[in-house]
Structure 1
Amino acid sequence: MLQSSTDKLVMVFALLFCFSNTVDAQKKSAKMNKGADKLNRQIALKPPMGWNSFDAYDCRINEKEYKATVDFMEKNLLKHGWDYAVIDYCWFNDDPGNWSNPRRRFGHPDIRMKPDGSPLDTLVMDEFGRVLPSIKRFPSAKNGAGFKAIADYVHSKGMKFGIHIMRGIPREAYYNNLPIKGTTYTARDIAEPWDTCNWQNNFFGVDASKPGAQEYYNSLFELYAEWGVDFIKADDMMYPPYHKGEIELISNALANCGRPMVLSLSCGEAPLSQASHVSKFSHMWRVSADFWDNWESLEHNFDLLNAWSPFIKPGHWPDADMLPIGKLSLNNRPHGPERMSKFTNEEHYTLMTLWSIAKSPLMLGADLLQETKGIMPFLTNDEVLAVNQYSTDNRQVYKDENYAVWIATEPGTKNRYVALFNLSGNERTVKFTLELENLRGTFKVRDLWKKSDAGTVTDKLETKIGSHGAAFFKLSPVK
Structure 2
Amino acid sequence: MTSALTPPMGWNSWDCYGTTVTEAEVLANARFLAEHLLPHGWDTVVVDIDWSDPDARPHGYTQDAALVLDAHGYPQPAPGRFPSAAGGAGFTALAARVHALGLRFGVHVLRGIPRRAVAAALPVPGDGGWTAADVADPTSTCPWNGHMVGLDHAHPGAQAWLDGLVAQLASWGVDYVKVDDVLAPFHADAVRAWGTAIARSGREMVLSLSPGTRLSTEHLPVLREHAQLWRVCDDLWDRWEDVHANFARLARWAPHQRPGGWADADMLPLGRIGIRAERGEDRQSRLTPDEQRTLLTLWVMARSPLMMGGDLPTSDPATVALLTTPAVGHVLRTGVDGRELLREPAATDLGAGRTDAGEVVVWAARAGDGTRTRYVAVFWTGTNPRTEHLALSSLLGDADARAGRWAVRDLWSGTALPDPVPTGWEPEGRLDLEVPAHGVRWLALDPTDHPAPAAPGPHHRQEPS
TM-score between both structures, scaled by the size of structure 1? 0.86
Tell me the equivalent position of 2:100. 156
Tell me the equivalent position of 1:454. 417
The one-letter amino acid paired with 2:434 is K
Aligned pairs (5 A) from 1:164-175: 164-175=108-119
Aligned pairs (5 A) from 1:246-325: 246-269=190-213, 270-325=215-270
**Would you say 1:217 and 2:162 are equivalent positions?**
yes
Cα distance, 1:372 vs structure 2: 2.7
Q: Deviations over 1:410-467 (max 9, x none)?
A: 1222211001111111110123332234132321111111112213223322310110
Q: 1:431 to 1:288 in 2, by over 3 A?
A: farther
- Of 49, 53, 58, 2:9 maps to 49
Tell me the equivalent position of 1:440. 401
Assess if the C-alpha contact under 8 Å between 2:52 and 2:68 holds in 1: yes
The one-letter amino acid paired with 1:87 is V
**Would you say 1:426 and 2:371 are equivalent positions?**
no
Q: Deviations over 1:131-184 (max 9, x none)?
A: 111111111011211000000000100111000000000000110011111132
CA distance in 2 between counterparts of 1:158 and 1:384 reads 20
CA distance in 1 between counterparts of 2:267 and 2:32 reads 18
**Would you say 1:335 and 2:279 are equivalent positions?**
yes
Tell me the equivalent position of 2:424. none
CA distance in 1 between counterparts of 2:309 and 2:182 reads 21
* SS in structure 1 of the partner of residue 253 of structure 2: helix
Cα distance, 1:244 vs structure 2: 0.5
CA distance in 2 between counterparts of 1:430 and 1:90 reads 47
Contiguous gaps of at least 5 residues in structure 1: 1-39, 98-105, 113-120
- Could you list the runs of 4 or more consecutive aligned residues of structure 1 that deviate by over 4 angstroms after TM superposition? none
Q: Deviations over 1:220-243 (max 9, x none)?
A: 11001100000000000101x101
Cα distance, 1:478 vs structure 2: 2.5
Aligned pairs (5 A) from 1:179-258: 179-182=123-126, 183-239=128-184, 241-258=185-202
* SS in structure 2 of the partner of residue 404 of structure 1: strand
Q: Deviations over 1:385-419 (max 9, x none)?
A: 21111111111101123210000111222211001
Tell me the equivalent position of 1:405. 362
Q: Deviations over 1:267-287 (max 9, x none)?
A: 112223212222322101101
Tell me the equivalent position of 1:475. 445
* SS in structure 1 of the partner of residue 241 of structure 2: helix
CA distance in 2 between counterparts of 1:371 and 1:316 reads 30
The one-letter amino acid paired with 1:168 is G
Contiguous gaps of at least 5 residues in structure 2: 346-358, 421-427, 450-465
Assess if the C-alpha contact under 8 Å between 2:192 and 2:222 holds in 1: no
* SS in structure 2 of the partner of residue 91 of structure 1: coil
* SS in structure 2 of the partner of residue 377 of structure 1: helix
* SS in structure 1 of the partner of residue 108 of structure 2: strand
**Would you say 1:110 and 2:54 are equivalent positions?**
no
Assess if the C-alpha contact under 8 Å between 1:405 and 1:432 holds in 2: no
Assess if the C-alpha contact under 8 Å between 2:9 and 2:306 holds in 1: yes
CA distance in 2 between counterparts of 1:214 and 1:290 reads 29
The one-letter amino acid paired with 2:285 is S
Count of aligned positions: 421
Tell me the equivalent position of 1:127. 71
CA distance in 2 between counterparts of 1:137 and 1:53 reads 14
CA distance in 2 between counterparts of 1:59 and 1:235 reads 13
RMSD across aligned positions (CA):
1.3
- Whose Rg is larger? 1
Assess if the C-alpha contact under 8 Å between 1:421 and 1:430 holds in 2: no
Cα distance, 1:377 vs structure 2: 1.7
Tell me the equivalent position of 1:463. 433
Assess if the C-alpha contact under 8 Å between 1:242 and 1:271 holds in 2: no
Assess if the C-alpha contact under 8 Å between 1:279 and 1:311 holds in 2: no
Tell me whether 439-448 or 339-348 shows the greater mean CA deviation.
439-448
The one-letter amino acid paired with 2:340 is Q
Cα distance, 1:341 vs structure 2: 0.7
* SS in structure 2 of the partner of residue 431 of structure 1: strand
Cα distance, 1:195 vs structure 2: 1.2
**Would you say 1:139 and 2:100 are equivalent positions?**
no
**Would you say 1:353 and 2:297 are equivalent positions?**
yes
* SS in structure 1 of the partner of residue 365 of structure 2: strand
* SS in structure 1 of the partner of residue 441 of structure 2: strand
TM-score between both structures, scaled by the size of structure 2? 0.88
Tell me whether 396-405 or 267-276 shows the greater mean CA deviation.
267-276
Cα distance, 1:362 vs structure 2: 0.5
CA distance in 2 between counterparts of 1:374 and 1:153 reads 28
Assess if the C-alpha contact under 8 Å between 1:69 and 1:369 holds in 2: yes
Tell me the equivalent position of 1:72. 32
